Amino acid sequence: MSVVTEADVLAVLSGVIDPSKGQDIVKSDQIKNLSVNAGKVSFILEVDPARGSAMEPLRAAAQKAVEAMDSVETVQVIMTAHAAEGSAAPGPSAPPIPNLRAAAPNQQESTEPPAAKLPDGVKKIIAIASGKGGVGKSTVASNLAVAMAAKGKRVGLLDADVYGPSQPRMLGVSGRPSSPDGTTILPLRNHGVTLMSLGLMTAEDEAIVWRGPMLMGALQQMLGQVQWGKLDVLIVDLPPGTGDVQMTLSQKVDVAGAIVVSTPQDIALLDARKGIDMFKRMNVPIYGLIENMASFVCDECGKVHHPFGHGGARAEAEKLGLPFLGEIPLDLDIRIASDGGAPLVVTKPDSPQAKAFFDLVDVLDAAGLFE
């Protein structure tokens, strides 16, 4: 049996024509992150952001062409609409981008009961939380979102980590969201995930110096004014801790459940307990705990090491009577992929590290997340 190579795959894809460009998808540089490993092929098909879902036939044609190749066992094609820097910003005659500061300063925390309400088209909202910073919550959120999209789910990601909005960098999204009417916000999209973040409204090195009421108003606008479209799940990447953003989310929308991310050591688990307690007080169900940075494999000797201890989150979940969702390894490739704007589940979907995220999707699916 012959072994298929990247050159073979590109040769076949060069026969797939994008009608909107009048040339093949290889020549027009629409094929990104091509990976060929033992008959398993994966790549990203980058299309015009203005056409979006209308390009699904092109994605299907590319997948069908590669599936027909000898020695190809599986094909995974993720279609993205990656806006170039500044390309999503409205032109001189377009309505202005909605001002998320405008209504916020005068808003006060409601004393009314929680409103069981979801954004139009969104089936469920889940929160990704951590008791403290530095445990890899945002990395887990981005890889989990893209892994869900790769499994055919319609996924949105709201980056509510307002003081450290890192999802635009992790998902490789640049430019600014536009608005057709000055009120509705059109989110950006990449790797199959629809994204909205305050990081898209500011320069990457610009601090968001807002007080609580302004942040709460901005969060409510991003939930209610963003045109999310039809989503199976909207993932909300929360700031660390138990502050205003977590409380506002829990009070203003019907959150299906929360996932708490922690590293194994006691000091992280101490803060994770506080986050879990907060969600219980806000009547938000807990899907379970994830142990991040659980272990790494030495390049030299192949031995598995546990620099932060091992099994702490599993033991804590058992103690609290909560599900333990799985372990994510401490691995340099995960960091490199996130910094590069293409999560590991895209760049190395067949790796053991990526498998940990895909397994997590399966666990959540079995728990009824997508019902």
Indicate the DSSP class of residue 198.
G
Instruction: Single out the residue of 189, 137, 124, 184 nearest to residue 165, CA to CA.
Output: 137
User: What percent of the chain is predicted at pLDDT more than 70?
Assistant: 87
Q: Is 249 exposed, middle or buried (0-12, 13-18, 19+ CB in 10 A)?
A: buried
More confident residue, 327 or 216: 327
pLDDT band at residue 148 using 50, 70 and 90 as cut-offs: very high
Indicate the DSSP class of residue 310.
S
Q: Which tokens in the block code for residue 25?
A: 């998808």
Q: What is the pLDDT of residue 83?
A: 45
Q: Report strand pairing: 74-80 vs 125-129.
A: unpaired
Is residue 249 within 8 Å of 160, Cβ to Cβ?
A: yes
Per-residue pLDDT averaged across 219-235, rounded?
91
| Average pLDDT in the chain | 84
More confident residue, 279 or 212: 279
Q: Model confidence over 231-259: pLDDT tens digits?
A: 999 999 999 887 888 888 888 899 999 99
The CA-based dihedral angle spanning residues 290, 294, 296, 302, taken in that order and rounded to the nearest 10 degrees: -110
Task: Assign residue 288 a region (left: φ > 0; alpha: ψ between -120 and 50; beta: otherwise).
Answer: left
pLDDT band at residue 49 using 50, 70 and 90 as cut-offs: low
How many helices (DSSP H) and strands (DSSP E) are in the chain? 11, 15
Q: What is the pLDDT of residue 100?
A: 54
Q: Model confidence over 262-296: pLDDT tens digits?
A: 999 888 899 999 999 999 999 999 999 999 998 87
Instruction: Single out the residue of 166, 213, 153 nearest to residue 360, CA to CA.
Output: 153
Q: What is the pLDDT of residue 220?
A: 84
User: What percent of the chain is predicted at pLDDT more than 90?
Assistant: 49
Go through the domains of the chain in sequence order and give each one's CATH number: 6-80 (3.30.300.130), 125-366 (3.40.50.300)
Q: Given a cut of 70, is residue 191 above it in pLDDT?
A: yes
Using DSSP's 3-state secondary structure scheme, residue 37 falls into strand
- Segment (H or E) for 35: strand 31-37
Q: Is 302 exposed, middle or buried (0-12, 13-18, 19+ CB in 10 A)?
A: exposed
- The Cα 217–Cα 235 span in angstroms is 19
Q: Model confidence over 18-46: pLDDT tens digits?
A: 888 889 999 988 888 787 877 888 887 87
Q: Given a cut of 80, is residue 204 above it in pLDDT?
A: no
Q: Model confidence over 309-340: pLDDT tens digits?
A: 888 899 999 999 999 999 999 999 999 999 99
- The Cα 178–Cα 185 span in angstroms is 6
Using DSSP's 3-state secondary structure scheme, residue 248 falls into helix
Q: Given a cut of 90, is residue 95 above it in pLDDT?
A: no
- The Cα 28–Cα 314 span in angstroms is 48
Per-residue pLDDT averaged across 210-228, rounded?
82
